[in-house]
Structure formats: structure tokens, C-alpha cells
Structure 1
Amino acid sequence: MTETERDALSKVPAITLGFWIIKILATTLGETAGDTVSMSMNLGYLVGTAIFAAILVVLVVAQIAADRYRPLLYWATIIASTTAGTTMADFATRSLWIGYPGGSLLLFGCVLASLAIWHRTLGRIDADTVATPRAEVFYWVTITFSQTLGTALGDWTADTGGLGYGGAALVFGVLLAGVAAAYYWTRASRVLLFWAAFILTRPLGAAVGDLLDKPIDHGGLAFSRPLASLVLGAAILLLVLLLPQRAGGHPAVGRNA
């Protein structure tokens, strides 16, 4: 295989309806799994962050070393990023004493900085260009920041906006529907819409995850966090195995076809 042919192989999946369904389930799992370690196991946010960040680094290295898009590895890395995002957001907003507004602003700045450096370095921030190690590093850094930001936004809306977890899930579901409408009926930047949707699926998952596992007197359904995580993990695995999985198209394919 030539270098040009290698560059044409995207390492991330095609963006389909199935992608977004699995992504929302993965973000919900990230919330319940993160809370299981930091709260149910009483390890705290810092220890939880260290555990999940270490797992994330190992999986990102494996993802970068892979010779092509591998669905199970990719989605395991997404789950690791969203779980690490849960504990990192909780640590930023609660343990650093900057609250939801401060944590959300800090993390939003991190997302923008990551995208800006990515664009300045490689010229594009389109997910379809993720085929080289440098692009993958930027991709996963940006994804992790976006997952963390989404957690903070979800908790902020549910806890301080007076909406509760169900109301917060509805708000972010409507916002996602707005992004989908913009995709189909406007000429808005597809790259911008992708990252907007990617960020918004995380607070939706955070709100749904909290709705499932928080105590009833806090507005949740008090389901077992480990059990909820197990069920969500099984559902994700089933969908990854059953739904068609293919690598996203890369611009180089068209140039070399």
C-alpha cells in the first residue's frame, strides 16, 4: 500500500443515524459508569479521573496504531473518553470550586483552543480527514474536551436551571433536532454542525444518565448505577455488531479515484 493510499483510509466511522444512536448511548453509559466509580465506589473525582484517563490513553494509542477503522476499538475509546469526561467535569465544577458556569467556560475554551490549534496545524478539522496520527491526536483531544464540556453543561442545566434531569434531556434533545434541521435544510458548515451535535449529545446523555441513577428525592429514578452501566454497555455492543459499520469517506479517496 502506498503512502497516498494509507492517507485515504479514514480511521473514524461514517456519520450515520446509527452513529448518533450509539453515541448517545455511549454518553449515557459514560455518566452512569463515571458515577459508579466516583460516587458508588467512593473513590472520588480525582481518582476516578486518573483511572479513566489512563484507560483512555491506552485506547487512544491502540486506536492510532490500528491500520484501519475498527468498530469495537473506536467505540471503546469513545466510551472511555465520555467516562473520563464525566469525572473530569465533576472534578472541575465541584472540586476546583469554580462551579458549573466557571467549569463550562473553562472547558468551552479548551474545545475552541483544541480546534483552533488543530486547524492551524493541519488546515482542516473535518472528521473525515482523520487518517494520520497527528490528526487522530487532535481528534481525540477535542473529543475528550467536548465530552467533558457536555457533562458540565448537562449538570448545570439540570441542577441549577430548575428543569430537572428529564427537562434538561428535553432541552438538549430539542437543540439536537435544531442541528439536524440545519443539516438538512440549510447550507451551514457541516464541520460546525458535526461538532455542535457531538457536544450536544453529551449533555443529553448526562441528563439521561442522571435521570436513571440519581435518588428519587433528587429527581432521578434510583436505578442501580452498575446495573444501568451493564445494560447500556450490552446495548452498545449489540448495536455495534448489528448495525452496518464502515469507515467515513476521506477527501483523498475522491482525489485518487
Structure 2
Amino acid sequence: MNDSTGKALSKVPEVTLIFWIIKVFATTLGETGGDAVSMSMGLGYLVGTELFAAAFIVAVVAQVSARRFHPMLYWVTIIATTTVGTTLADYATRSLGIGYAGGTAILFGLLLASLWIWYRTLGSIAVDTVSSPRSEVYYWVTIMFSQTLGTALGDWTADTAGLGFDGGALLFGALLMVLAGLYWWTRLSRTALFWAAFILTRPLGAVVGDLLDKPVAEGGLALSRYSASAVLVVFILVCILVFPQRPAARTH
């Protein structure tokens, strides 16, 4: 299969710097947007999860049904996974009483299981092979688990581990820099590094989102969740419109 055919079939974007920038802001939006619905609107974690889960299902169906890569649709689906991940993690760890450590462990297990089943079924978990409905379903289920895990991990780091929101942001930012170094200066699996970075961008977004909208007494900046979410939406839209994104080229 030549590159032009691979690109025509690929349904996910090429992994570039702008991809990671949008991803971080999308995960931050997931935190502020999820909190806006469950907390500011007073709907609670369960109702928030049901609403965002419905949006997630609709977005995934549209993404899988699309004949080619659409940047706007792709990022809407990413945002849907991160908002449902926020409220689902909060519901599991807080409302069900599982706790941050327990929730993180369970979600990490589900994530590993999803990756393992995907690999055993299709032979690759590389994102540039996401071109069929089956691989897309595995891709989006795995992403949903990673987004939910990231929320629980971010909360655990900031609260239970006592690093606070700014400390958590520094920690996850530093870990992402380490992964960038491993990418540039080693020959470690690009697929493994991608998923490690993808997972770590979610807790980074979670703690940054909490830093923006939590009360000052809790270490936040007490910004309006609605205003913060609106600014993040505008930034993401500008990035999508100004920086054209190409579908990932098939290399497998």
C-alpha cells in the first residue's frame, strides 16, 4: 500500500506538535466542561456521565461512519471522551467511594486489557493503522479508558499525594518532557511512547483544569468554569482552522 492510499484510508491525524498542543487543551476542556455540568449546573456526576456518554456514543458513531478523516469531527470526539472521562472518574472515585487509588488501579487495568485485546485481535495498536471500523472501535474505547484513568490519576496526584494542582502540572509536564527526550534520542517503540504520552496528557489537563476553576482556598484560581471552557473551545477551534492537519500515513 502506498502512502497516498494509506492517508486516504487513515481516520486519525498525523501526530505532530500541534496534535499534542490541541490534545492538552482538549483534556483541560474536558475537566472544566465536565465540572461545569456536574458541579456548576448541579446535575451531579451520574447525570453528567449519562449526558456525556450519550454525546460520546453519537460522536464515535459519526467518526466511524465517516468515509475519510475530518479534523473537526475527530477533535469533537476526543473532547467527548475527555468530558465523559471526567464525570465517570469523579462518579467512580467519589460517589461510589472507590477512592482515587482504587479508581486509578481499576482504570489502568481496563486500559491495559483494552490495548491487549486490540493487539491480539488486529495485530497492531499503532495509531497509523486505525483505518477500519474494528480498529476505530478499539481506538476509541482505549482512548475513553485513558481519559478516565487520567482524571483519576490527576486527582490522586493533586489531592492524595499532596502535590496540589501546580505541583501535579509540573510533574506531568516533566514526565512528558522525558518521553519527548526518549522519542528523539532513543529507539524505543514509537507506539509505546505515543500511548504513554497520550495517557499522561490527560492528568496534565485534569490538574490544569482544576487549577483554573477550583476555589483559591483549595489551591485554584477560582475562574468561572463556563468562561474557562469557552476560552479553551475558541483556542482549539483556532488551532484546527489555522494549522491544517493531515491523516496519519500508514507505515504498517
TM exceeds 0.5?
yes
Band the TM-score falls in, shorter-chain normalisation: over 0.9
Cα offset, 1:251, TM superposition: 2.8
Cα distance in 2 for partners of 1:57, 1:85 equals 13
Cα offset, 1:96, TM superposition: 1.6
Cα distance in 2 for partners of 1:250, 1:188 equals 19
Cα pair 1:8 1:250 within 8 Å, conserved: no
Cα distance in 1 for partners of 2:83, 2:247 equals 24
Percent identity, aligned pairs only, is 67
User: Which residue pairs with 2:110 in the alignment?
Assistant: 110
Cα offset, 1:111, TM superposition: 0.4
Instruction: Give the TM-score normalised by structure 2.
Output: 0.97
Residue 21 in structure 1 maps to residue 35 in structure 2: no
Cα distance in 2 for partners of 1:157, 1:108 equals 15
User: Which residue pairs with 2:130 in the alignment?
Assistant: 130
User: Which residue pairs with 2:81 in the alignment?
Assistant: 81
Cα distance in 2 for partners of 1:6, 1:155 equals 39
Cα pair 2:24 2:204 within 8 Å, conserved: yes
Instruction: Give the TM-score normalised by structure 1.
Output: 0.95
Cα pair 2:128 2:248 within 8 Å, conserved: yes
Cα offset, 1:7, TM superposition: 9.0
User: Which residue pairs with 2:9 in the alignment?
Assistant: 9
User: Which residue pairs with 2:210 in the alignment?
Assistant: 210
Residue 148 in structure 1 maps to residue 148 in structure 2: yes
Cα distance in 2 for partners of 1:220, 1:127 equals 35
Residue 244 in structure 1 maps to residue 234 in structure 2: no
Evaluate the alpha carbon distance shift between residue 149 and residue 91 of structure 1 in structure 2; reply closer, same or farther with a 3 A threshold.
same
Amino acid at match of 2:236: I
Cα offset, 1:6, TM superposition: 7.6
Q: What secondary structure does 1:251 align onto?
A: coil
Cα pair 1:7 1:132 within 8 Å, conserved: no
Cα distance in 2 for partners of 1:5, 1:23 equals 26
Cα pair 2:8 2:68 within 8 Å, conserved: no
User: Which residue pairs with 2:227 in the alignment?
Assistant: 227
Cα offset, 1:98, TM superposition: 1.2
Cα pair 2:7 2:249 within 8 Å, conserved: no
Unaligned runs of 5+ in 2: none
User: Which residue pairs with 1:183 in the alignment?
Assistant: 183
Cα distance in 2 for partners of 1:189, 1:111 equals 18
CA displacement 1:71-114 (0-9 Å, x = unmatched): 00000000000000000110111112110010000000010000
Cα distance in 1 for partners of 2:68, 2:206 equals 30
Q: What secondary structure does 2:241 align onto?
A: helix
Evaluate the alpha carbon distance shift between residue 5 and residue 186 of structure 1 in structure 2; reply closer, same or farther with a 3 A threshold.
closer
Cα offset, 1:244, TM superposition: 2.2
Cα offset, 1:225, TM superposition: 0.2
Residue 160 in structure 1 maps to residue 160 in structure 2: yes
Cα distance in 1 for partners of 2:8, 2:29 equals 32
Cα distance in 2 for partners of 1:211, 1:6 equals 41
Cα distance in 2 for partners of 1:113, 1:101 equals 18
Which has the higher mean CA deviation after the structures are superposed, 159-168 or 126-135? 159-168
Unaligned runs of 5+ in 1: 253-257
User: Which residue pairs with 2:67 in the alignment?
Assistant: 67
User: Which residue pairs with 2:92 in the alignment?
Assistant: 92
C-alpha root-mean-square deviation of aligned residues, in Å? 1.3
Q: What secondary structure does 2:9 align onto?
A: coil
